[in-house]
Structure 1
Amino acid sequence: MSKNIYILGIVASGKTTLAKRLSRQLDIPWFELDCIVHLETSEGRKKRSPEEQVEVIRTIDSEGPWIFEGTDRESYRCLLDMADLVILVDPPLWKRKIRIATRMLKQKLGIETSHYKPNLKMLKMMYRWTREFESNRVSFEARLQPYEHKLIRLSDSTDLDDVTLIL
């Protein structure tokens, strides 16, 4: 059974939903990489340096099995090597755009929690990150190429059949 799982995808792809589900199913702790980048302190959120982020990741790795989920960030790329299984959650662009708007609305209504302030600025940033991801997709796919032997591609976070076959 794979013990270290890296779930990768862009904003609103379904990474967190899948990570929570697999964590419960496999009884493995999961970690949001955004929470590793942004440390909650009594003074508010503090951004860790890339070196500090990698240090936190390596500490968690030394403590046993894990599930990490996050977007593609240089400081996370060590996880491609560390993971036994890499899952790319990659729903169609139209679906992600709808999810971004829906998520923001749910957060504004208090139906869903977030680690950030749900406002117009954040909404615009999420759409910008999505645009940037799509415009850099070729280089992203090239970075994944060496890991194809342990990569599962899902078009939706609910497509667990491929994952459970391997686990």
Structure 2
Amino acid sequence: MKKQPIHKIHIFGSVGSGKTTMAKNLSKVTGIPCYEIDNAVWIRNPSVDIRRTDQEIERNLQSIVQTNSWIIEGVHTKDWVNQSWQHADIIVFLNTSYFTRTLRIIKRFIKQKLGFEKANYQPTFRLFLNMFKWNKQFEKVDKVRFLQMTEMYEEKLIIINNRQDLNNWINNL
């Protein structure tokens, strides 16, 4: 049986799971544009980001999912994100360990503060502390919610638990 081409990919995972890195790398290899859901959610300002309304977010996301190809990455489990799961050819869940995500949060913050890594947000100490809170929240609440919300898309859900899973999936593309 011939594999169906994959043009629409939604990558989901906690802060520090590797979503952005994976999306950017896949985009480079495939030429498919990648989008961070956070940029649909937030109006970026130098001083403070402003959250859009759910209707604005839904419209922004709708304008992406109606295109021919995309890679969307994000951690949101609001009802409006369902439209990207629905249109996706494949949903990739990066189920990176809590410990690995915690280390990546620390590493990312240091790199951003030293100017080695660019961020779409202001890397403040408060945001740094929030990332640990969000990481814990993901482990206890959001992961379960995500898995429940994507049950109807089970046939297109890929769960990647480690680098070996990732390499296997990429080699089978």
TM-score, normalising length: structure 1: 0.90
* Deviation (angstroms), 1:115: 1.4
Report the counterpart of residue 35 of structure 1 in structure 2: 39
In structure 1, distance between residues paired with 2:144 and 2:48: 36
Asked whether the 8 Å contact 1:18–1:157 carries over to 2, the reply is no
Amino acid at match of 2:135: T
Q: Displacement, 1:44?
A: 5.9
Residue 161 (structure 1) aligned to one of 145, 168, 172: 168
Q: Quick one: distance in 2 between partners of 1:113 and 1:96?
A: 18
Q: Secondary structure, in 3 states, of the residue corresponding to 1:69? A: strand
The equivalent residue for 2:158 is 152
Structure 1 position 27, deviation (Å) = 1.0
| Structure 1 CA distance for aligned equivalents of residues 124 and 46 of structure 2 | 22
Listed one character per residue, the Cα deviations across residues 7-52 of structure 1 (whole Å, up to 9, x for unaligned) are 0001000001110111111111000111111123688633211111
Give the corresponding residue for 2:147: 141
Residue matched to 1:115: 120
Contact 2:77 2:146 (8 Å CA) reproduced: no
Higher relative contact order (CA 8 A, sep 6+): 1
Q: Which residue of 2 aligns with 1:16?
A: 20
Root-mean-square deviation (CA, aligned residues, Å) is 1.9
What is the distance in 1 between the residues matched to 2:25 and 2:167? 9
State how far apart, in whole Å, the 1-side matches of 2:147 and 2:66 are.
28
Structure 2 gap ranges (5+): none
Identity %: 31
User: Distance in 2 between the 1:42 and 1:18 partners?
Assistant: 26
Which TM-score applies when normalising by structure 2? Answer: 0.87
